[in-house]
Amino acid sequence: MVEGARSVGIPTFQSQNGQMMEGEGGASIMDLRVRDGMRQSVFRSYVFPYMDRPNLTVLCHALVTRLVMSGKQAGGVEIVHDGKVQRIAAGAEVVLSLGAIHTPKALMLSGIGDQTELRRLGIPVVQHLPGVGQNFQDHVGFGCVWEYPQALPPRNSMGEATFFWKSDPDLDTPDLQTCQGEMPMSSAETAAQFSPPAGSWSLFAGLVRPKSRGRVRLTGANPQSPIEIEANTLAHPDDMKAAIACVELCREIGNSAPLSPFVKREVMPGNLKGAALENFIRDAASTYWHQTCTAKMGHDAMSVVDGSLKVHGIDNLRIADGSIMPRVTTGNTMAPCVVIGERAAEMLKAGHRV
């Protein structure tokens, strides 16, 4: 795939980090976190080595339902565990790290959010913060698939090459990212239409500077009620233009000479144009699982936390996850979330002198 990208004018690099990320874009083998042949999670690296510490408890299968509030001060959390409602008190602060969907859900169930929305559901308003649940952003991808002449056996993580590029050369930074997958990557709609064979590989064309904005809303005051996610994917016309450019670029790379030994036929989308290509893109749209930005940092009326990750108007409450990003990062969100966690830890250590 890297050689295919080079053949269409995309420069190649030894690593996707560093120079490639700081310039006009490029292609490379992906940097992966692997130890003893296994992908490593943040939990495995940061938490698991310290599971025997007496001041650490990891409670599985526990649903955080709301904050325990005393006026405008957070004093703990309420959870459901083993079918029972329990309260856990905080000695100093509460730090929510529930992600871009469940963090705003917990805030809103606690009376922190847009007062009109809260009153609509009969939730007493503790702090009017209209930005809670707003500004939802994600990286969206579109599976472009080729059938192997002879399927390769699964190996490693089955996806180890990527490129960043611009949909428009006048942009100041890449707005596209594609990852290769050694398997067919399709939505339910495109799978039904194109029936990609199991022995296929993909270029998962992605938008990483989306202009579309969505929101997360409660459907009821009961914590067990499902959350409503209005992603508004491709709502902004510029996102559709960028998606078309990315899919066309993936087709050019996938059908290039360096990849021809791995191609029996192009499965999808094929040489679609105009409305047919737009329809394919809407049908193919899938998440990269980089949902962020629903409790953004800032000082404007729609901001939820300040530069110290403290929730505006609420004492003893911080947020440390991807929801605090004002804009989704151009690349994958795991490393930025690690940085947010590291900075939160530094702030807590300094603030409480530990």
Tell me which residue of 279, 191, 201 sits closest to 243, measured CA to CA.
Answer: 279
Cα 240 from Cα 282, distance rounded (Å): 9
Catalytic residue among 290, 299, 312, 352: 290
- Long-range pairs for 189-196: beta carbons < 8 A, 24 or more residues apart: 189/283, 189/284, 190/143, 190/268, 190/280, 190/283, 190/284, 193/268, 193/283, 194/145, 194/267, 194/268, 196/145, 196/147, 196/267, 196/268
Q: Cβ–Cβ contacts within 10 Å for residue 308, how many?
A: 13
- What type of residue is 99? G
Residue 290 designated active-site: yes
Which stretches does DSSP call E strand in the chain?
26-29, 34-35, 38-39, 62-70, 73-81, 84-89, 94-96, 112-113, 127-128, 134-136, 140-147, 161-165, 176-181, 200-207, 214-218, 227-230, 265-268, 286-287, 317-319
Residue 153 half-sphere exposure toward CB, CA atoms < 13 A: 1
C-alpha R_g of the chain: 22
Cα 176 from Cα 243, distance rounded (Å): 8
Q: Count of H helices and E strands in the chain?
A: 9, 19
Residue 150 half-sphere exposure toward CB, CA atoms < 13 A: 1
Q: Which helix (H) or strand (E) holds 288?
A: none
Handedness of CA 33, 36, 39, 45 (dihedral sign): negative
Catalytic residue annotation: 290
